[in-house]
Amino acid sequence: MASAPTVKLNNGVEIPQLGFGVYQIPDDETAAAVGSALEAGYRSIDTAAIYGNEVGVSRAVAASGLAREDLFITTKVWNADQGYDATLRAFDASLAKLGTDYVDLYLVHWPAPARDLYLDTWRALEKLAAEGRIRAAGVSNFLPAHLRRLAEHSSLVPAVNQIELHPGLQQAELRALHAEQGIATEAWSPLAQGAVLGDDAIVSAAARHGKSPAQVVIRWHLQLGNVVIPKSATPERIRENIDVLDFTLSDEEMAAIAALDRGLRTGPDPDAFN
C-alpha cells in the first residue's frame, strides 16, 4: 500500500504531501469514495463546508477504524460565513458534521475582497489555533496582495495557501512569495480537471515511465514540493493517483512540463469571486 511523504508546515505540523479532494462528490457518495481512498493509503482528506459532504467524510472515517490522529482532515470556511463571530459559528458546524473535536487544517476558502472581512476571519482562525481546535490555520485562493495585507495585520503566517495550480497554471509568483514567507503551496485542481492530460510532454513522459498522464502530473507536483489533492470518485483512479512513488521525472521531463504554463485558469479569479 502506498504511503505519501509529508511536508512540514511552518508550525511544525506535518501534512501528507498527497491527499484526496472531495469537491463535487455528492454527500451520499462521499463515504464510498473516501473509503476507497483510505483503503488505497491516503491519509489526508480535503473537504469544505460549501461542498456539503463533511458528513460523508465523517462516515468514511468512522467506518475505516483508523485512529483520528492518523488522519489529516482539512475543511474551509465559506465566503458567506466570513467575519469573526460567523467564522467561529461555521467552524462549530463543520466540526459537528465531521464528527471530530479538531481539524488538522482550517482554511479561509476565498479572500472575497469585496466583502472585506478576511482580516476578521483570520482573527477567528488565530483564536481556534490558540485553543488547539485547529492544528494549523491557512488560506486558499489568496493573491500576493491579500497575503501581504494579512502579514501587515497578523503575526500568524498562514501554514498553507491552497491555490489553483497545474501544468497549465504554474503560479510562479505565488510560489516564490510562499517560499519567502514560509507558506506551503497546496495545489487544487492539480490535474486541471483533466484538461492537461493530453498535452504532449505529459503523454510522452507517461509512455516512457509506463505510467498514466495523471500519474505524471501528480509526480510533477510532488517533485516541485507542492502538496497535492487530486479528486476522483472511481476506485481504480483513486488507487492510480497515489501510485506515484516508484518513479522519478528527469530534469528534461520537468522542463518540458514547465513549458506548458499558459495561464489556463479552470476556476474563478480570486479578485472577482465573493
Nearer to ligand NAD, 131 or 200 (CB): 200
Contact between residue 174 and residue 185 where contact means Cβ atoms under 8 Å apart: yes
Residue 237 near ligand NAD by CB under 6 A: yes
Task: Out of 112, 229, 256, 257, name the contact with ligand NAD by CB under 6 A.
Answer: 229
Task: Out of 71, 183, 192, 242, name the contact with ligand NAD by CB under 6 A.
Answer: 192
Contact between residue 189 and residue 164 where contact means Cβ atoms under 8 Å apart: yes
Nearer to ligand NAD, 177 or 238 (CB): 238
**Options 28-36, 52-60, 77-85, 193-201: segment touching ligand NAD (CB under 6 A):** 193-201
Task: Out of 61, 98, 214, 227, name the contact with ligand NAD by CB under 6 A.
Answer: 214
Window 76 to 135, contacts with ligand NAD (CB under 6 A): 109
173 φψ region: left (φ > 0), alpha (ψ -120 to 50), beta (else): alpha
Nearer to ligand NAD, 30 or 100 (CB): 30
Mask: binding to ligand NAD, 28-57, rule CB under 6 A, as x and -?
------------------x-----------
Smallest gap from Cβ 249 to ligand NAD, in A, equals 17
**Options 83-91, 118-126, 146-154, 192-200: segment touching ligand NAD (CB under 6 A):** 192-200
Question: Catalytic residues, which ones?
Answer: 51
Smallest gap from Cβ 268 to ligand NAD, in A, equals 8
Task: Out of 21, 83, 167, 168, name the contact with ligand NAD by CB under 6 A.
Answer: 21
- Closest residue to ligand NAD, judged by C-beta, is 21
Cα separation of 234 and 240, whole Å?
10
Cα separation of 138 and 120, whole Å?
14
Residue 231 near ligand NAD by CB under 6 A: yes
Residues contacting 217, CB < 8 A, separation 6+:
166, 167, 190, 191, 196, 197, 202, 257
Residue 222 near ligand NAD by CB under 6 A: no
Smallest gap from Cβ 191 to ligand NAD, in A, equals 3
Smallest gap from Cβ 244 to ligand NAD, in A, equals 10
- Cα first-last separation, the chain: 41
**Options 16-24, 32-40, 153-161, 219-227: segment touching ligand NAD (CB under 6 A):** 16-24
Q: Rule CB under 6 A: which residues touch ligand NAD?
A: 21-23, 46, 109, 140-141, 162, 188-194, 197, 212, 214, 229-232, 237, 240-241, 267
